[in-house]
Amino acid sequence: MAALLDLLETRPAVLAPVVLAVAYLIYQLFLRPSGLPDIPIVGARPGEWFPLARARWRNTRDMKTATEVAYSQYRDRAVVLPIAGAQDFVQLPIAEMQWLVDQPDSDVDLHAQVLDSLQLDFTVMDPRLIHQPMHQELISTVLTRETGNLVPALLDETRFSVDDLWGTDTEGFREICVYDAMRRIIGQVTNRVFVGLPLCRDQNLLAAGLAYAQDVPMSSTVLRFTPALLRPLVAPLVTLPNRLHTRKFYNILRPEVERRLAAFSARRSDPEKSGGNGYNGDNGEGKEPNDFLQWSITQAAALGDPYHASPDTLSGRILLLNFASIHTSSFAITHVLLDLASSTSPAQLEELRAEIASVLAAHGGTWNKRALAAMEKLDSAMRESQRVNSFVTIATARKVVKEGGIVTPSGVHVPKGVVLCAPSYPVFHNPDIYPEPEVFKPFRFAEKRAAPTVDGKEGEKEKDSYVQRARQAFATTSPEYTAFGHGRHACPGRFFASSELKLMLAYIITHYNIEPLEQRPSNFWFGMNRIPPMKATIRVRRRKTSV
């Protein structure tokens, strides 16, 4: 200690870096101009010093209250919703959400916001994958179109993985941790569509994908709390797990990618062998595999840039798909199982089973997209569970990227760099929109579908009725229903997710009895998101008959 004091006395310059670092932190936390419009700040108290910084911490400690206050006290006007370690959001009234999602990407940009909030330039090992997101186009086109053809594969993998993890013993009940089992099942079933058999069952591949999906939110949280100037220095350390899991994932996938690429170019150079189409891969039975990896190879060939066709790029796209889909879908299926186990009467479960049986019978006993679409009560149960439990608490976050900023319909000027959003959690729980909002009513949306339609000419009536029914479907978004976001950037994977989750739920409830829970285990808030109780268990027993 004495030596240190001596040093400071003789060479005070050694203090300079410490003083600079402290001054920088104080400036960042308290003095930096916020660039925010002059509108109320949620969480700030009148007359206090540093209202923005203090509101940030208050809101972060209690996000539920913050979102409720932002919605109920400022229903018709824009407010600042500051959150520590995230952006300072400007939340628009719900009446302006449609305006927000209709703005061109050159004015407000979802990708710029995601890039920031997940720190993707650091947390994704090859940021080019993000800046050229070719996989997203495939999700909204090929994956959505092919979902119907993929139903048999989805069913096969669901059967295989659920039977394996939930067991087939019809005598005794067995306790399972819902989230743990379902994320493995979702990982396997979803990867059946991404990379096919046998890799979708490779537990090391699935584990690396899951681990990476946890690394990204973890490392991005640390990076967001790190001053921007220091991030390039801190990132290599913080993202070490991301790098390790990426490498592991690539290494396992690479031999299959290389095999597919070789088969693809062989077929391309010898169209005779390919059955005439000139570019198909080969699944070993002379048929092209119908999965995301294969579509990506075809897409890469059409793009003609070797970067897109490299094994690492193709593997990287599959890893990003795992990131986008596994947690979201695992949360959704975990929630609905807990809801059905704890809030639903046995008669309602029987009603669901009866619907499944009768629709299946009407479709010749075959599971297909039409049969899934006709199961309106099942669809309603999924939609209702997401209404009650959605991880989305503020919706449609878009960063203002237009030089000079933009002006909202109610006349607020929002500068470039600020993130706009709209309310979600308090809307889902608003009794004027959803009566008895805290109650899980599995048939809420099915009943809305069945409600009489407006009068009109015969043709119009039919059209109205179709539109009214479609509006209540699980994958349909609106300002009042934002579990998948809203607008043209709403989740592109939602049609696939809807079919996959309904099929899985139908299989589970027709093949298993679930012992009722006295109380629904509570969700919890993780930053801005709501998460299912990860340790919650249920007791299940295989049914002797499957209807």
Chain residues that interact with ligand HEM, rule: CB under 6 A:
110-111, 136, 139, 143, 321, 324-325, 328-329, 332, 392, 396, 483-487, 489-494, 496-497
Angle at 13 between CA 11 and CA 16, to 5 degrees: 150
SS3 54: helix
C-alpha dist (Å) from residue 368 to 83, 92, 359, 364 = 44, 41, 11, 10
Tell the smallest beta-carbon distance from residue 483 to ligand HEM (Å): 5
Q: Are 468 and 449 a contacting pair, CB within 8 Å? A: yes
Q: Are 293 and 256 a contacting pair, CB within 8 Å? A: yes
Distance CA 123, CA 49 (A): 35
Tell the smallest beta-carbon distance from residue 320 to ligand HEM (Å): 8
Q: Counting every residue, how long is the chain?
A: 547
Residue among 213 and 414 whose Cβ is closer to ligand HEM: 213
Residue among 91 and 328 whose Cβ is closer to ligand HEM: 328
Tell the smallest beta-carbon distance from residue 400 to ligand HEM (Å): 15
Q: Sign (positive/negative) of CA torsion 17, 22, 25, 31? A: negative
Tell the smallest beta-carbon distance from residue 187 to ligand HEM (Å): 12
Q: In degrees rounded to 5, what are phi and psi of residue 151? A: -55, -45
**Strand ranges of the sheet holding 394-400, from the earlier edge strand across to the other edge:** 79-82, 88-91, 419-423, 394-400, 108-109
Residue among 97 and 341 whose Cβ is closer to ligand HEM: 97
- Cβ neighbours for 3, distance < 8 A, ≥ 6 positions apart: none
> By C-alpha distance, which of 193, 498, 194, 176 is closest to 329?
498
Tell the smallest beta-carbon distance from residue 398 to ligand HEM (Å): 8
**Do the bridges between strand 419-423 and strand 88-91 make them parallel or antiparallel, or are there none, so unpaired?**
parallel
> By C-alpha distance, which of 219, 191, 369 is closest to 293?
191
3 state SS for 370-394: HHHHHCHHHHHHHHHHHHHHCCCCE
Q: Are 385 and 332 a contacting pair, CB within 8 Å? A: yes
Q: Sign (positive/negative) of CA torsion 255, 256, 261, 264? A: positive
Tell the smallest beta-carbon distance from residue 251 to ligand HEM (Å): 23
Residue among 238 and 397 whose Cβ is closer to ligand HEM: 397
Tell the smallest beta-carbon distance from residue 132 to ligand HEM (Å): 13
Residue among 44 and 208 whose Cβ is closer to ligand HEM: 208
Encoding tokens for residue 318? 């599959």
Tell the smallest beta-carbon distance from residue 390 to ligand HEM (Å): 7
Residue among 441 and 530 whose Cβ is closer to ligand HEM: 530
Encoding tokens for residue 110? 């979802």
Tell the smallest beta-carbon distance from residue 381 to ligand HEM (Å): 14
The DSSP-derived string for 432-487 is TTSSSTTS--TTHHHHHHHSPPPP--HHHHHHHHHHHHHHTSTT--BTTB-BTB-S
Helix (H) or strand (E) holding 224: helix 203-225
C-alpha dist (Å) from residue 425 to 73, 408, 534 = 15, 22, 20
Task: Name the residue with tokens 């991880």.
Answer: 391
Tell the smallest beta-carbon distance from residue 131 to ligand HEM (Å): 12
Residue among 82 and 493 whose Cβ is closer to ligand HEM: 493
Tell the smallest beta-carbon distance from residue 392 to ligand HEM (Å): 5
Residue among 189 and 208 whose Cβ is closer to ligand HEM: 189
Tell the smallest beta-carbon distance from residue 490 to ligand HEM (Å): 5
Residue among 143 and 206 whose Cβ is closer to ligand HEM: 143
Angle at 165 between CA 164 and CA 171, to 5 degrees: 85
Residue among 325 and 343 whose Cβ is closer to ligand HEM: 325
Residue among 70 and 150 whose Cβ is closer to ligand HEM: 150
Residue among 55 and 506 whose Cβ is closer to ligand HEM: 506
Tell the smallest beta-carbon distance from residue 157 to ligand HEM (Å): 14
111-145 as b/e, with b when 16 or more CB fall inside 10 Å? bbbbbbbbbbebbbbbeebbeeeebbebbbebbbe
Tell the smallest beta-carbon distance from residue 351 to ligand HEM (Å): 23
Residue among 280 and 329 whose Cβ is closer to ligand HEM: 329
C-alpha dist (Å) from residue 441 to 340, 385, 477, 481, 533 = 10, 8, 19, 16, 20
Residue among 91 and 325 whose Cβ is closer to ligand HEM: 325
